[in-house]
Structure 1
């Protein structure tokens, strides 16, 4: 295994230290038009092909990331796979991880495979790209051992630990985010209803809402409904987009439903707030404004498409939903706006 050991030691220097900056004060903050970027080599999994590309063996990478600052930072990471024969590999989407002050996290081979779309036991090689607005401490731990047959426990023959320092990289930040997702304004749709509809369709604006439905709490949104007034649950959705380097995003919601808003989800995750879900025992209050449902969301967002889902139960007769939704952020606006 000495060939593997020499290869690990010789290569790891280039993997991390070649990116080093001059020593600086811990936890520096990058200027608004730049980030600290850490490019970390990863090698993961069993390599079984005697083709001269890699030594036969089992390879492992553990990337340790520590927030040196006194406030939470959100790190953004993506993974670029490399392929033999000078072929360009796949580039993963960007993933975000909050990291509290002084805390550390580990990005291991299984995390890398999950993010890069690699099967659980397959070999993967490439670079992890980690961006942060604050300077981090990033350390890569590389271990390797002889190739093992499936079912055998890998053993370590060599280990190397390398400090990876970041470089400042200029970025074009997303513009400030100021948008609305009001029903009757944004493109809300019905994805299921009591009639058993299997295809999503556009939520319909209620031109003349019943007098019992609050208009004071509705404006500037408008009441919307589905295609049926049957008893059961109608599920409404709206999508919105956030750019990759979104920051300080906040979604403020106020909503009413006839007869009752039973559930609110952001990106499949249930969320709750004041009168959300709405009380089951006072149906009139759920649409005349007495039980106005409100909440403010600051977490649970992802880069790219986000989905807000609201479920409304109808006990019979007219049914509808009205949502006032304001989306704000220091950064995050996608080309063309947030609502889609």
Structure 2
């Protein structure tokens, strides 16, 4: 089987400008609190008469060694909390600004967050700079958004986001996925700090890790074509070993994913079907891919189900 990876498609631009001193994101100490919450430290009966501290889920995430490790690759302006971006690398389904909100409401919250950060950067005497060193202002701008909120920006939910904002959100989501699945994306000067896990040449393990991560994203993201292509790619990787090594749990229950994966398998039939260096961001892109020829009518049937948010 020949697998094609959307990781290998022309990826969103990732900023890698000249080095500057690393600026660690400020920890969100507001996440630490002593009020009653769903994240109780211990049962009240066991702590009668004792001083106890309640630690929120957000604070617990910040203490996660994995989150702290990945935060080094998400550079930003000093004084801005961008922990949501690193948390999503470890757990893409983690909810912050989008918690309890519809996607439309999430978009409104994201718009307010971006506006606030534009203002805060300008108040420092340095307005947002699209060409900032290593994309630091990109992360600073989007740093208050969980992955579902980034999706709302990327897909221009409600028509509230500029093309530039959409592209920045897409780039950050790509970086999160790449880092989480063992493929480096970030400032070139920090590449040596990255521990590739699994080995990038172990495509079966790479595929399985991709599957595990992609299954944790929000249901809204799972309705997009980008997710379906990525999930199908990971599935193809996971099944590229011997037949005995294949696992049933690696096969998606999503009909669009399985259609794309089936089409990808045909790349081994001819050089013509396998030769392609495009992207599959839209239905039109997918239908124009040589390896997808012959599957167009099945795709139309799946689209007609109304289950997906495809463009």
Q: Above 0.5 in TM-score? A: no
If each structure's strand is expressed as a fraction of its own residues, which one has the higher value? 1
TM-score, structure 1 as length reference: 0.22
Larger Rg: 1
TM-score, structure 2 as length reference: 0.23
